[in-house]
Amino acid sequence: EVLFRDLRLVMRANQWTCLLGSSGIGKSTVLRLIAGLPTHVKLDGVIKSDDQLSISNRVSYMAQNDLLLPWASVSDNISLGSKLRGRKYSLEKKLKIIKKVGLKNHKEKYPFQLSGGQRQRTALARTLMENTPIVLLDEPFGSLDSNTREEMIDLTFKSLTGKTVLFVTHDPHEASRLSE
């Protein structure tokens, strides 16, 4: 079965691009392919950038599920990427992001102690901590209440200014508000 035939998706540098559509049509699969993650499909084509450099080491990916490590605190989950790569990170930057996403009083808690919205904000903070030029967001605001959703949309948009963002959503309002 063919998921896409002759698909050409162009993401303009330093802009937000949105994939809007119903469930099950392959939006998340496209993100996973771009991120170089395993999927259930075979790619018969190429994913490339205009500068011909590898994309895989320039991408951060926020999945639909928060994918938090249950044995790690909020603070440790946020800096996980740097730790896994053996890179140093700025503690000041991490604390600033934790404060921005409203988790200052929860930074030492574990995922089981958080609400769904707090878990989602932790995953968003981890993505913001990565500071990559290409950011893939798979329904990052899905489990947030309406007030927190609006705050996180604003924060995410401001925090990712100047980045190349591919954003998946079912919500036409989010798509029209964020994508160019």
Count the residues in the chain: 180
What's the pLDDT at 133?
A: 92
What is the model's pTM?
0.88
Note the Cα 60 to chain centre separation in Å. 6
**Token digits of residue 160:** 């990712």
Tens of pLDDT, residue by residue over 51-104, are 877 787 889 999 888 899 999 999 999 999 888 888 888 899 999 999 988 999
Those residues of the chain that have pLDDT short of 70 are: 1
